[in-house]
Amino acid sequence: MKQIVYLDNSATTKPCEAAINNTAFALTNEWGNPSSLYDMGFRAQMLVDDTRKAVSGLLKCREDEIYFVGSGTEGNNTAILGAAHARQKRGKKIITTTIEHPSVLETVKRLECEGFEVVYLKPQENGVISIDDLRAAIDKNTVLVSMMLVNNETGAIQPVNEAAQIIKQSGAPALLHCDGVQAFGKMPINLVDLGVDLFTASGHKIHGPKGIGVLYVKKGVTIKPLVTGGGQEKNMRSGTESVPLIYGLKGAVDSLGNINENLKSSKELWNYAKETLLETKLITLNSSDEALPYILNISVEGYRSETLLHFLEAQGVYVSSGSACAKGEGSYVLLEMGLAKKRVDSALRISFSRDNTKQDIDALKSAIIQATQKLRRSN
């Protein structure tokens, strides 16, 4: 069996032992329905409550502000549609960015079809949205601003806290939604200090199970639920809670360790990757030095991303050409940053986890060199 070098952690992460054990425990020992009014139900509900406490502790918010959903995508849909529909009598303008995840962009497009006006802010060359552009766009008719915290393709950190301040200064009735999927568990987050009204996260990006997401709704904020029925999650997300996946998320949260120390270690690995890959004289950097150091976007100009991916895979090295949801299509994020199409067509996203080492980077470097040499010979 060939050795695997996995450097696509922004797509998903390997479940950690605690997440696997917690999931298995809930499946085999506490499989009762948490809504049932007897001891099996109470015990299942306790696992849900314990996870809510762990997540709220990580995000520095109230426990009753955390809701469990099926994914980051569902969280984004619920937040955006729920906020827009709840506030449409106060205005029908939404502001977002052109570099959001498809679960945000496709959702606001749906709202455009319903008669909402959507303003899309473009990033600067470094991949960061200009706060002045937001200041110019917001008005008294704006009911929602949606801005991600960390871009999933470049790692660019967006000015979410500054956006919160501008909304407050403008007097607009806008709620601030933040897609925090790529930031959750990777950088210190205090939702009170961040100033958001709605925040979404996902379990499988931090070594938890797939199929579990988090939606934060600030106390006092009202949005319309996307999924209705039995009234679970205080009517925010009906449907019997997936206790195994929820408790698996707790295992992942408990295993994070010190966020700041992890960030420091990842920055060292990020720097090593940047310097090591630049030594090849084959790459151009698309991520800035200010990016969250869990994502490094590069271009190997002259070689198409899809072709390179197959060569790297053959050597047991796994990276991506961008968002997993893009399924191999060119990166709209890099195009919006103003990069030339030739550079975009040769882009690779390298994304790290705590499991990665410098040896993984060395293997990636070697694989890129070998891939380009083979491709040159074949041409």
Q: Which residues are catalytic?
A: 325
Closest-CA residue to 304 (of 334, 274, 330): 330
Distances (CA, A) of 13 to 8, 54, 175, 252, 341: 8, 20, 31, 11, 30
| Helix residue ranges, H only, the chain | 17-28, 39-59, 72-87, 102-113, 131-137, 160-170, 191-194, 243-254, 259-278, 305-314, 332-336, 341-344, 358-378
Q: How far apart are CA 200 and CA 316, in angstroms?
A: 33
Helix %, strand %, coil % of the chain (to 5)? 40, 15, 40
Pairing of strands 317-318, 66-69: unpaired
Give yes or no for a contact between 226 and 201, defined as CB atoms under 8 angstroms apart. no
Distances (CA, A) of 236 to 64, 79, 169, 210, 226: 11, 10, 30, 20, 8
Q: How far apart are CA 296 and CA 156, in angstroms?
A: 10
Question: Token digits for 300?
Answer: 């190997």
